[in-house]
Structure 1
């Protein structure tokens, strides 16, 4: 139960961050050219852009690592490709919703970075599973890690004011 409860809290945080942190109609931009935003961020010489670039590039990867871990755990019998497809589907859906409701920038680079984070999460879970091996111990480790991350997700969900 702990794993599902913390996963639900994490998903609520993702929804708040990705879809509810901006007023509807506040921002609408679309980038369908792969790596255009990434190259723009990496090649910018502006000091102010550096912080935004770091938050965008690293943040999009980091925020989907737990998603990859949880999806891999929930779909442990599925092939890695089907698990990656689930992550891609969620990321693309988020970008479409952001574009439709103008609550963020719809960017193919966000999908690429989110999927990179999800794949890192899948590999992290696979590594954990190969080290621990026993399914009940993997579940125990997942529960402990979930409970340890609980204060982090509560902090981000309930305390931090997301202004983007």
Structure 2
């Protein structure tokens, strides 16, 4: 039950971050050229832009790691490529919605980075499963990790004011 509760908090935070952190109509841009934004970030020479760029790249990766872990746990018998397809679908859907409702920049680089994060989550879950071997131990470890992350997700969801 703890795992599902924490997954629900994570999903609520993800929705808030991706779709409800900006005023509708406030921003609309589309980038369909892979690695264009990342290359632009890397070529930026100001320290302020560099910090924002680093936060954007790392943030897009880190925010999807839990999705890879949770989906791997929920669908532990599914092939990794099917889990990756679900992660990519969630990311693409978020980018399309951001573009349609002008609540963010729709960027193929975000999809790529989100998929990298999801893949890291899948690999982390697989590593945990390989170390613990038994499904009951994996479930217990997931419950403990979920409970440990509960304050973090509550903080992000209820305390942090997202102004993007």
What residue in structure 2 maps to residue 57 of structure 1? 57
Deviation at 1:111, TM superposition (A): 0.1
Q: CA RMSD in A?
A: 0.5
What residue in structure 1 maps to residue 45 of structure 2? 45
Distance 1:157 1:57 in 2: 21
What residue in structure 2 maps to residue 124 of structure 1? 124
Distance 1:75 1:43 in 2: 40
What residue in structure 2 maps to residue 137 of structure 1? 137
- For residue 99 of structure 1, give the secondary structure of its aligned residue in structure 2: helix
**Where does 1:64-75 land on structure 2 (aligned, <5 Å)?**
64-75=64-75
- For residue 21 of structure 1, give the secondary structure of its aligned residue in structure 2: coil
The gaps in structure 1 that reach 5 residues or longer are none
Q: TM-score, length-normalised on structure 1?
A: 0.99
String of CA shifts for 1:123-159, please: whole Å, max 9, x gaps.
0000000000100110000000000000000000000
Deviation at 1:47, TM superposition (A): 1.5
What residue in structure 2 maps to residue 2 of structure 1? 2
Distance 1:38 1:46 in 2: 15
What residue in structure 1 maps to residue 30 of structure 2? 30
String of CA shifts for 1:61-111, please: whole Å, max 9, x gaps.
001001100011111110011010000000000000000000000000000
What residue in structure 2 maps to residue 96 of structure 1? 96
Q: TM-score, length-normalised on structure 2?
A: 0.99
What residue in structure 2 maps to residue 86 of structure 1? 86
Distance 1:41 1:70 in 2: 30
- For residue 128 of structure 1, give the secondary structure of its aligned residue in structure 2: helix
Distance 1:54 1:74 in 2: 31
Deviation at 1:49, TM superposition (A): 0.6
What residue in structure 1 maps to residue 152 of structure 2? 152
- For residue 30 of structure 1, give the secondary structure of its aligned residue in structure 2: strand
- For residue 58 of structure 2, give the secondary structure of its aligned residue in structure 1: helix
Distance 1:47 1:141 in 2: 40
- For residue 28 of structure 1, give the secondary structure of its aligned residue in structure 2: strand
